Amino acid sequence: MSSSIDTRPVILTGDRTTGPLHLGHYAGSLKSRVALQRSHRQFLLLADTQALTDNAHDPEKVRRNVLEVAFDYLAVGIDPLETTICLQSALPALAELTLLYLNFVTVSRLERNPTIKTEIQLRGFERDVPAGFLCYPVAQAADITAFRATVVPVGEDQAPLIEQTNEIVRRLNRQVGRDILVEAEAMIPAVGRLPGVDGKAKMSKSQGNAISLSASPDEITDAVRRMYTDPTHLRASDPGKIEGNVVFTYLDAFCDDGQLLEDLKERYRRGGLGDITVKRHLEDILQALLAPIRERRARYAAEPGYVLDILREGTLKARERTEATLAELRAALGLFTLT
Ligand code: TRP
């Protein structure tokens, strides 16, 4: 960037570092981050401390995946000259802001947060919810406000976290008597979540139904071959269903040729188009999409020192920005300063 003042709207988003990213991440967020990085001032957070809130039993996994996720970012085209990539656990201002914000939110409000409620059920915590997990929406509010982000691209399931953030913002602003923190807006992707290749749930590595961004050509072929279609479409000549047919859901997400896609749907519905033919179209598209990503990823993975330099530089920049917010808030709250 040039040295003139950067007036682009600020985006903060990020990922828990619990595993390499997959095609679902690409369709749902990575692709739009690549597009947004020119029109917006974008910060990407490698959310390792947040990952610990439900992975405290496996900190090694969280550590190992910091670089894996960074490789994924760079491989899909996140440009470190446009986007600041930074490491959450290396930004102490985020932890300090979290501690301050915890006094402006009640336990019952956290327990009512729809995202948290669902996630507690999904993880089977029942009554043994780690306090860090219950409070991660407060930490995420610290992330968002520390960067003074106004745009936060998150999945639909995370929208209540932005609402919670803005409540904290309003409470703090009321407390200090001026708009010291800025409210943020969730940016929900237009495309829904990509289902797994089995059609059952969302794509997720732990479900074994994901296509990773580093999938080999054979793995892609195999995943498309296994992909769930319409179980009542037994012969090519039978009429087939598009709804709930994973191959078409993926074509909707990745096929740029709208005319071809409409044509395929029309012929499939009518009868006369076999699964194998539709799958061949999808396979060609996915092979073409993932080949350059896989190659770039391998090149970054072979140069971890170079990627570490990018993270170090991004984190230094982020440290400056987040510490400025913290200093302002400490002063506004009138915390005692030892000079
Ligand atoms: N909650 C996000 C996830 O589960 C990661 C994240 C951490 C985040 N801090 C954030 C997203 C701030 C947006 C803004 O992947």
Q: How far apart are CA 61 and CA 65, in angstroms?
A: 6
pLDDT in tens, 190-201: 887 899 999 987
- Residue 146 CA to ligand 1 centre (angstroms): 13
Per-residue pLDDT at 1 exceeds 60:
no
State the average pLDDT over residues 306-318.
98
Residue whose CA lies nearest to ligand 1 atom number 14: 13
With residues binned 3-state (H G I as helix, E B as strand, rest as coil), the percentages for the chain, rounded to 5, are 60, 10, 30
Q: What is the pLDDT of residues 62-76, one digit of tens each?
A: 999 999 999 999 999
Residue 2 has pLDDT above 60, yes or no: no
Core vs surface per residue 12-27: b (16+ CB within 10 A) or e = bbbbbbbbbbbbbbbb
pLDDT greater than 70 at residue 321? yes
Residue among 138, 154, 182 whose CB has most ligand 1 atoms within 8 A, to mutate = 154
Q: Is the CB–ligand 1 distance for residue 13 below 6 Å? A: yes
What are the tens digits of pLDDT across the range 30-89? Answer: 999 999 999 999 999 999 999 999 999 999 999 999 999 999 999 999 999 999 999 999
Percentage, residues of the chain above pLDDT 70: 99
pLDDT for position 204: 87
Q: What domains can you pick out in the chain, each with its CATH number?
A: 10-194+304-333 (3.40.50.620), 214-298 (1.10.240.10)
14 CA → ligand 1 middle, Å: 5
pLDDT for residue 202: 84
pLDDT in tens, 202-244: 898 888 899 999 999 999 999 999 999 999 999 999 999 999 9
